[in-house]
C-alpha cells in the first residue's frame, strides 16, 4: 500500500495524509479506554505507514499523551510525527481555555514528560483564548521552537483573522478544524486560507465521531460519559436523518467505486485540498480499512452526487459546536 504524504513547513519528514486521532484513547468523553488496545492501534498505525499521531493533554487529562508515550517507547519514536496541543487547562473534570505564556511554559514540560520525548514535532494551540492576545501566545510558542522543544507550530479551531494574528509573530504550519462531509463550514474561509498560505489542514472528526464508519444505527447506544449521548446528530430527530444519509452514501460508494462509506468519507476529506484526515481509532481492527482510502480520487461529479445525497436525507443539519470548551471565568 502506498500511503499519500504531504510536506508540512518546519518538519523534515513528509507526513501521512491520514493521522491517527487519540482523543478516544484518553477515555474521557468516550466511555473509557483500554491501554493494551490503544498501544496496539498506535503501533499498527506506525507499522502501516501512518506516521502522524495526534493527541492532546486534555484527552483524558494526560492519559492519551501517556499512552502515546508508552506506545512510542521501544524504538517507535523515530517513526512518529507527534502532533500534540496546548492551552486547555482542567479542573474537576471540566476544561477551560488558557493560552497564557505561563500556562504554555508549564504545559510543555508536562507534555514532554508524558510523551517520553525531548521534542514535539507539531505543537498546536487547541482553542483560541479570548482572554489572551494571540500575539502573546504565538511569541512564547516561537520561543519554544527556537529552543528546539518544538519543531513546527499549528493552531486549532482558529478563524482566518486569528491565524493572521498568529502569523504576524510566528511561522504557522498547520490548522486543525472540524471537517467531514457533514460538517464543512471551513469550505467558506479556512480551507481557501490554507491554500493561499501554503498551510496544511488536519481535519478532525473525519468520520463524524464514528457516524461515517457506517456501523452506527438508529438504536446504537453509547455508554458512560461518551459524548455522543449529547451530540445533537446522535439524538432524535436528527439521528434517523444522518443514519439514512450514511446508508445511501454507502450504496453510492459501493456502486461507483467498490468502496465502503468509511473509505468514501476519508477520501472526501483528502480530495478537498491541502488536508490530512484525522481518524480516531482505538483498537487495531478499526484501521483495517486504511488502504481502501488510497489509490483513487473523487471528481467534481462525485462531489455533486454526494452533496445531493446529503441534502436529500439531512433536512435539519447541525454542526460540531457543542464540543467547544468555555473560556476561563475571571474573578470579579
Applying CB under 6 A, the span of 9-17, 21-29, 40-48, 103-111 interacting with ligand NAP comes to 21-29
Give dist(CA 260, CA 265) in Å, integer. Answer: 9
Which of 71, 80, 208, 245 touches ligand NAP (CB under 6 A)?
208
The helix-helix angle for 35-47 and 63-72 (nearest 10°) equals 50
* Residue 76 a catalytic site member: no
Between 147 and 319, CB nearer to ligand NAP: 319
Tell whether residue 210 is a contact of ligand NAP (CB under 6 A): yes
Which of 21, 27, 60, 62 touches ligand NAP (CB under 6 A)?
21
Tell whether residue 213 is a contact of ligand NAP (CB under 6 A): yes
The residues that bridge with 175 in the sheet, in sequence order, are: 155, 201
Q: Which letter does DSSP use for residue 147 in this model?
A: T
Q: What minimum distance in Å lies between the beta carbon of 25 and ligand NAP?
A: 7
Are the beta carbons of 26 and 64 closer than 8 angstroms? Answer: yes
Which of 11, 24, 42, 310 touches ligand NAP (CB under 6 A)?
24
Looking at residues 288 to 307 of the shown chain, list those that interact with ligand NAP (rule: CB under 6 A).
289
Q: What minimum distance in Å lies between the beta carbon of 32 and ligand NAP?
A: 10
Q: What minimum distance in Å lies between the beta carbon of 111 and ligand NAP?
A: 14
The alpha-helical segments, DSSP class H, found in the chain are 35-47, 63-72, 101-115, 134-146, 160-167, 190-196, 238-257, 261-270, 300-313
Q: Is the dihedral of CA 77, 27, 158, 103 positive or negative?
A: negative
Catalytic one among 59, 123, 204, 242? 59
Of 142, 11, 126, nearest to 64 by C-alpha is 126
Which of 8, 18, 22, 63 touches ligand NAP (CB under 6 A)?
22
Q: Which letter does DSSP use for residue 206 in this model?
A: T
Q: Which letter does DSSP use for residue 130 in this model?
A: T
8 cis-preceded (ω within 30 degrees of 0): no
Tell whether residue 156 is a contact of ligand NAP (CB under 6 A): yes
Q: Is the dihedral of CA 323, 171, 66, 46 positive or negative?
A: positive
- SS3 for 5? strand
Which of 81, 286, 298, 302 touches ligand NAP (CB under 6 A)?
286
Are the beta carbons of 143 and 164 closer than 8 angstroms? Answer: no
Q: How many residues bind ligand NAP (CB under 6 A)?
A: 27
Q: What is the DSSP string of 156-182?
A: ES--HHHHHHHHTTS---EEE-B-BTT
Between 75 and 187, CB nearer to ligand NAP: 187
Give dist(CA 288, CA 239) in Å, integer. Answer: 26
Looking at residues 74 to 113 of the shown chain, list those that interact with ligand NAP (rule: CB under 6 A).
none
Looking at residues 256 to 285 of the shown chain, list those that interact with ligand NAP (rule: CB under 6 A).
262, 278-282
Between 94 and 301, CB nearer to ligand NAP: 94
Between 101 and 289, CB nearer to ligand NAP: 289
Between 57 and 210, CB nearer to ligand NAP: 210
Q: What minimum distance in Å lies between the beta carbon of 136 and ligand NAP?
A: 21
Between 273 and 325, CB nearer to ligand NAP: 325
Catalog residues that contact ligand NAP under the rule CB under 6 A.
21-24, 30, 54, 126, 156-157, 176, 204-210, 213, 215, 262, 278-282, 286, 289
The residues assigned a catalytic role are 59
Amino acid at each position: 500500500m502506498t500511503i499519500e504524504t504531504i510536506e508540512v513547513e518546519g518538519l523534515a519528514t513528509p507526513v501521512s495524509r491520514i493521522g491517527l486521532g487519540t482523543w478516544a484513547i484518553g477515555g474521557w468523553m468516550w466511555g473509557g479506554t483500554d491501554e493494551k488496545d490503544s498501544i496496539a492501534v498506535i503501533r499498527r498505525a506506525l507499522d502501516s505507514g501512518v506516521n502522524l499521531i495526534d493527541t492532546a493533554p486534555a484527552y483524558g487529562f494526560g492519559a492519551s499523551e501517556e499512552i502515546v508515550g508508552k506506545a512510542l517507547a521501544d524504538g517507535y519514536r523515530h517513526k512518529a510525527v507527534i502532533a500534540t496541543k496546548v492551552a486547555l487547562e482542567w479542573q474537576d473534570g471540566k476544561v477551560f481555555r488558557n493560552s497564557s505564556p505561563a500556562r504554555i511554559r508549564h504545559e510543555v514540560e508536562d507534555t514532554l514528560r508524558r510523551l517520553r520525548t525531548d521534542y514535539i514535532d507539531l505543537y498546536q494551540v487547541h482553542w483560541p483564548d479570548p482572554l489572551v492576545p494571540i500575539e502573546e501566545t504565538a511569541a512564547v510558542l516561537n520561543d519554544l521552537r527556537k529552543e528546539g522543544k518544538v519543531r513546527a507550530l499549528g493552531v486549532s479551531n482558529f478563524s482566518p483573522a486569528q491565524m493572521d494574528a498568529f502569523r504576524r509573530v510566528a511561522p504557522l504550519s498547520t490548522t486543525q478544524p472540524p471537517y467531514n462531509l457533514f460538517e464543512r463550514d471551513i469550505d467558506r474561509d479556512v480551507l481557501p486560507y490554507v491554500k493561499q498560505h501554503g498551510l496544511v489542514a488536519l481535519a478532525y472528526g473525519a468520520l463524524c465521531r464514528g457516524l461515517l464508519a457506517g456501523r452506527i444505527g438508529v438504536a446504537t447506544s453509547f455508554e458512560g460519559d461518551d459524548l455522543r449521548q449529547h451530540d445533537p446528530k446522535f439524538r432524535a430527530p436528527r439521528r434517523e436523518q444522518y443514519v439514512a444519509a450514511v446508508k445511501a452514501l454507502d450504496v453510492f460508494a459501493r456502486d461507483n467505486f467498490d468502496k465502503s462509506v468509511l473509505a468514501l468519507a476519508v477520501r472526501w476529506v483528502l480530495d478537498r485540498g491541502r488536508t490530512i484526515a484525522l481518524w480516531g481509532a482505538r483498537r487495531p481492527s478499526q484501521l483495517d480499512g486504511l488502504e481502501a482510502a488510497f489509490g483513487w480520487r473523487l471528481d467534481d461529479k462525485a462531489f455533486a452526487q454526494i452533496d445531493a445525497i446529503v441534502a436529500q436525507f439531512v433536512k435539519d443539519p447541525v454542526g460540531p459546536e457543542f464540543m467547544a470548551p468555555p473560556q476561563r471565568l475571571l474573578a470579579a
